[in-house]
Structure 1
Amino acid sequence: MSTVYINSAACISVQDTLHENFLQGLTTRYDIQILKAVEPNYKEFIPPAMSRRMSKTVKMSSVASQYALKEAGIEQPDAIIVGTGMGCSQDSEKFLKNVIDNNEEFLTPTYFIQSTHNTVAGQIALGLQCHAYNFTYVNTSSSLEFSMLDAKLQINDDEAENVLVGSTDEQTERTMQLYCLNNTIKKPEDLPVDLLQSKTDGVIWGEGSSFFVLGKNKTESSYAQLKDIQISNTVELNEVQQYIGKFLAKNNLTFGEVDVVILGFSGDATSDKYYTETMDLFPDSALLYYKHLSGEFNTASGFSMFMASHILKDQQIPEAMMINTVKKDTIKNVLLYNHLLGSDHSLVLLEKV
Structure 2
Amino acid sequence: MNAVYINSASCISVQDTLKDNFFQDLTPYQSVQILKVVDPNYKEFIPPAMIRRMSKTVKMSSVASNYALQEAGIEQPDAIIVGTGMGCSQDSEKFLKNVIDNNEEFLTPTFFIQSTHNTVAGQIALGLQCHAYNFTYVNTSSSLEFSFLDAKLQINDGESDNVLVGAADEQTNRTMELYCLTNTIKKEKDLPADYLHSKTDGVIWGEGAAFFVLGKHKTENSYAKLRDIQMINRLDLEEAPSFITGFLAKNDLKHEDIDAVILGFSGDATSDVYYTKAMDAFQNSALLYYKHLSGEFNTASGFSTFMACHILKNQQIPEVMMINLEKKTKVKNILLYNHLAGSDHSLMLLERA
Q: TM-score range by the shorter chain?
A: over 0.9
The residue number in structure 1 matching 2:19 is 19
Q: CA deviation at 1:78?
A: 0.2
The residue number in structure 2 matching 1:75 is 75
Aligned: 1:334 with 2:344 = no
Any conservation in 2 of the 1:286–1:327 contact (CA below 8 Å)?
yes
Q: CA deviation at 1:3?
A: 2.7
Choose 149-158 or 191-200, whichever is displaced more: 191-200
The 2-side partners of 1:59 and 1:10 are apart by 14
Q: Secondary structure at the match of 2:256?
A: helix
The residue number in structure 1 matching 2:4 is 4
The residue number in structure 2 matching 1:224 is 224
- The amino acid that maps onto 2:118 is N
- The amino acid that maps onto 2:264 is G
Aligned: 1:134 with 2:139 = no
The 2-side partners of 1:74 and 1:299 are apart by 24
1:142-181 matches, within 5 Å, as 142-181=142-181
- The amino acid that maps onto 2:261 is V
The 2-side partners of 1:192 and 1:3 are apart by 41
The 2-side partners of 1:348 and 1:58 are apart by 26
The 1-side partners of 2:16 and 2:193 are apart by 22
Any conservation in 2 of the 1:82–1:136 contact (CA below 8 Å)?
yes
Q: CA deviation at 1:77?
A: 0.1
1:76-155 matches, within 5 Å, as 76-155=76-155
Q: Normalization by structure 1: what TM-score?
A: 0.99
The residue number in structure 1 matching 2:290 is 290
Deviations 1:139-191 (Å, cap 9, x if unpaired)? 00000000000000000001000000000000000000000000000011101
The 1-side partners of 2:45 and 2:329 are apart by 39
Q: CA deviation at 1:194?
A: 1.7
The residue number in structure 1 matching 2:312 is 312
The 1-side partners of 2:154 and 2:185 are apart by 37
The 1-side partners of 2:26 and 2:332 are apart by 24
Aligned: 1:351 with 2:345 = no
Q: CA deviation at 1:197?
A: 1.7
Deviations 1:179-227 (Å, cap 9, x if unpaired)? 0000000011101112112100000000000000000000011000000
- The amino acid that maps onto 2:139 is N
Deviations 1:291-347 (Å, cap 9, x if unpaired)? 000000000000000000000000000001000000111111000000000000000
Q: Secondary structure at the match of 1:327?
A: coil
The residue number in structure 1 matching 2:281 is 281
Any conservation in 2 of the 1:308–1:334 contact (CA below 8 Å)?
yes
Deviations 1:235-272 (Å, cap 9, x if unpaired)? 10010001000000000000000000000000000100
The 1-side partners of 2:29 and 2:249 are apart by 38
Aligned: 1:236 with 2:212 = no
Q: CA deviation at 1:2?
A: 3.3
Q: Which runs of 4+ in 1 moved over 2 A?
A: none
Deviations 1:116-151 (Å, cap 9, x if unpaired)? 000000000000000000000000000000000000
Q: Secondary structure at the match of 1:150?
A: helix
The residue number in structure 1 matching 2:325 is 325
The 2-side partners of 1:270 and 1:116 are apart by 32
The residue number in structure 2 matching 1:186 is 186
CA 194–20 in structure 1, closer or farther in 2 if over 3 Å, else same: same
Any conservation in 2 of the 1:167–1:210 contact (CA below 8 Å)?
yes
- The amino acid that maps onto 2:310 is H
Any conservation in 2 of the 1:2–1:216 contact (CA below 8 Å)?
no
RMSD between aligned residues: 0.5
Structure 2: 5+ residue runs without aligned partners?
A: none
The 1-side partners of 2:269 and 2:106 are apart by 47
The 1-side partners of 2:143 and 2:193 are apart by 28
- The amino acid that maps onto 1:40 is P
- The amino acid that maps onto 1:350 is L
Q: Secondary structure at the match of 2:339?
A: strand
Q: Secondary structure at the match of 1:165?
A: strand
The 1-side partners of 2:21 and 2:178 are apart by 36
- The amino acid that maps onto 2:220 is E
Q: CA deviation at 1:29?
A: 1.6
The residue number in structure 2 matching 1:302 is 302
Q: Secondary structure at the match of 2:68?
A: helix
- The amino acid that maps onto 1:263 is L
The 1-side partners of 2:98 and 2:242 are apart by 50
Aligned residues with identical type, % of pairs: 78
The 1-side partners of 2:23 and 2:107 are apart by 46
Q: Normalization by structure 2: what TM-score?
A: 0.99
